[in-house]
Amino acid sequence: MCFGGLMGGSYVHGYSRRENERLQDQAGTLAELLHRDTWYPPGSRVLEAGCGVGAQTVTLARRSPGARFASVDVAADSLAQARWRARQAELANVEFVQADIFALPFAPESFDHVFVCFVLEHLSQPVRALVSLGRLLRTGGTITAIEGDHGSAFFYPDSRMARRAIQCLIALQRQSGGDALVGRRLYPLLVEAGFDGVRVDPRMVYVDSSRPDLVDGFSRRTFTAMIEGVRQAAIGAGLIDAQSFDAGVRDLYRTTEVDGAFCYTFFKGTGQKLARDDHGAAPVE
Amino acid sequence: MCFGGLMGGSYVHGYSRRENERLQDQAGTLAELLHRDTWYPPGSRVLEAGCGVGAQTVTLARRSPGARFASVDVAADSLAQARWRARQAELANVEFVQADIFALPFAPESFDHVFVCFVLEHLSQPVRALVSLGRLLRTGGTITAIEGDHGSAFFYPDSRMARRAIQCLIALQRQSGGDALVGRRLYPLLVEAGFDGVRVDPRMVYVDSSRPDLVDGFSRRTFTAMIEGVRQAAIGAGLIDAQSFDAGVRDLYRTTEVDGAFCYTFFKGTGQKLARDDHGAAPVE
């Protein structure tokens, strides 16, 4: 249960055209926020590591129609959805590959750019993954990493129960070896993995009732839906009782009323692979 | 203990020129973030309500040299500092007035613009204050409000003790009738006070070691210094024991090391005063 799937809308056949367009519009607002400054030149080879159901793939590949994408995921069912999305979007510049991020079937230095989005949060060894990805980059190539941070969420009216419900998702992700607070440490992760010129830029989603598309598309259908999605797991794991969890979710919905507000921050980081000899001569800011 | 005083550096005579310049540079980075889009046309009359020690006054008046400012504060000692700052900055377009924000000595509709920064956080009746300020605005005039939100702070490494220390400041501000979480509710406050076309824009300060001016100027000398400033009050009020508070402050300083990160969000809101008759015809977004 994470942003990767939710942001592209659900994978359900038989949506009405109108519903589909509405979901696309909502995803579009966030895609603009996250991807507006990502563009790859014609002819460049781009590795999308951990494409999931392809929610970001469509945006990426459309924005850089001259680049060739290899979009990789370990899960066959996610890849099937990604392929379906790519067909719907009539993308001709994406190849999908099923593989583990730690054992990718590509030669060293075979990509100009690496893109990784909503993936590090699931990994117990994110630096190891970034180092592996770095090996696939040519010298001078770049990496772009985007992650959320569930601890960045705050809202009005504030609510202890809502914070407890969010904490359940954070705890569950930790139990499964991930880190739902990974966004805030994107900078040290990229630096530790050996990238140069690392720059991290926060992207806050700020929602109040003057922005009704985000009230519905982000506060309700993305963030609160994601929290609701772990109800059974959280209660089953003994992290919270049903009554408290439901009160927390009610309080999250309360923030979508006319006097409410909601804040969440994504982090976008970029870095470059320099040749070993370049390291000593790298510009120091 | 709040941003109003800290952001302009301390009011201490006898600073070396070099130290003074360094403090100005640090304040400059934040001033740019908060005030870059605030400019008042020549001849306009601007009320700065709650100018405190004048930290924002200097930036405001310099950016709009043709506008005439009335900068008001209730505290005589703060005003003395503000006047000193204004003299240092050789400002010729500011008049300082000592008065209560709820009993301002100005005729209705005597200002084109109102500016209020780091003030609502201290008030138990922020809407009443905004309504009073609105009365002083001419029809068509604008209000600009800027506030922080101490609940917006998050950092790496995360630390329960650091969060507890921050919570002390939030609790103390609540005990004195204020709200250190006011930033997130700036939108509903401005709407409730009757302003039209309200727009709120978050301004996040993101700090990692690639931004050394902010590591020192914001994480250390502004935010953590502000938390340290309530040590005695927090312990005296029985909110925390000394050992825990000191551990929290240590953990806040820990976020300024080379692998650390720190996030804090300010909120900037604007609205307009429409004539009563305009309300029905106000454009609906």
Phi-psi region of B50 (alpha: psi -120 to 50; beta: other; left: phi over 0): left
Interior CA angle at B235 toward B230 and B236, to 5°?
Answer: 95
Distances (CA, A) of A158 to A244, A265, B179, B183: 15, 17, 12, 12
Question: Per-residue pLDDT for B177 more than 90?
Answer: yes
Give the closest-approach CA distance of B121 to chain A in angstroms: 15
pLDDT in tens, chain A (285 residues): 566 555 544 433 334 555 555 555 556 788 999 999 999 999 999 999 999 999 899 999 999 999 999 999 999 999 999 999 999 999 999 999 999 999 999 999 999 999 999 999 999 999 999 999 999 999 999 999 999 999 999 999 999 999 999 999 999 999 999 999 999 999 999 999 999 999 999 999 999 999 999 999 999 999 999 999 999 999 999 999 999 999 999 999 999 999 999 999 999 999 999 986 554 444 433
CB A255 within 8 A of CB A179: no
Average pLDDT over residues B222-236: 96
Q: Which of B66, B60, B59 is closest to B42 using CA atoms?
A: B66
Other Cβ atoms less than 10 A from the Cβ of B81: the count is: 20
- Strand pairing report for A137-147 and A68-73: unpaired
DSSP H or E run through B77: helix B76-88
**What are the pLDDT digits (tens) for A129-185?**
999 999 999 999 999 999 999 999 999 999 999 999 999 999 999 999 999 999 999
Percent of chain A with pLDDT over 90: 85
Contacts of A265 in chain B (CB under 8 A): 204, 263
Q: Enter the tokens of residue A156.
A: 């009005």
Q: Which of A208, A255, A256, A258 to mutate to test binding with chain B, by most B CBs within 10 Å of its CB? A: A208
Residues 193-212, chain B: which have Cβ within 8 Å of A? 198-202, 204, 206, 208-210
Residue of B nearest to A198 (CA): B210
Residues 251-280, chain A: which have Cβ within 8 Å of B? 258-261, 263, 265
Cα gap B38→B61, rounded to integer Å: 10
Contacts of B187 in chain A (CB under 8 A): 208-210, 261
Residue holding tokens 């977004």?
Answer: B285
Which of A231-260 are b and which e, b meaning 16 or more Cβ less than 10 Å from the residue's Cβ?
Answer: bebbbeeebbeeebbbbbbebbeebbeebb
Q: Which of B156, B167, B200, B207 to mutate to test binding with chain A, by most A CBs within 10 Å of its CB? A: B156
CB B55 within 8 A of CB B63: no
Q: Any alpha helices (H) in chain A, and if so which ranges?
A: 3-6, 17-35, 55-63, 76-88, 126-135, 160-175, 186-192, 212-214, 225-228, 231-236, 242-254
Cα gap B124→B174, rounded to integer Å: 9
Cα gap B215→B263, rounded to integer Å: 11
Beta strands in B45-92 (DSSP E): 45-49, 68-73
CB A47 within 8 A of CB A111: yes
**What are the pLDDT digits (tens) for A11-23?**
333 345 555 555 5
Q: Enter the tokens of residue A164.
A: 């407890």
Percent of chain B with pLDDT over 70: 87
Give the closest-approach CA distance of A267 to chain B in angstroms: 10
Q: Enter the tokens of residue A285.
A: 């800011």
Cα gap B77→B88, rounded to integer Å: 17
CB A100 within 8 A of CB A76: no
Contacts of A202 in chain B (CB under 8 A): 204, 206, 263
Which of B52-74 are b and which e, b meaning 16 or more Cβ less than 10 Å from the residue's Cβ?
Answer: bbbbbbbbbbeebeebbbbbbbe
CB A264 within 8 A of CB A221: no
**Following CA atoms A84, A89, A93, A95 in sequence, which dihedral angle do they give, to the nearest 10 degrees?**
-10
pLDDT confidence band for B2 (50 / 70 / 90): low
Q: Tell me if chain B has a CB within 8 Å of the CB of A155.
A: yes
**What are the pLDDT digits (tens) for B154-163?**
999 999 999 9
Residue of B nearest to A201 (CA): B206
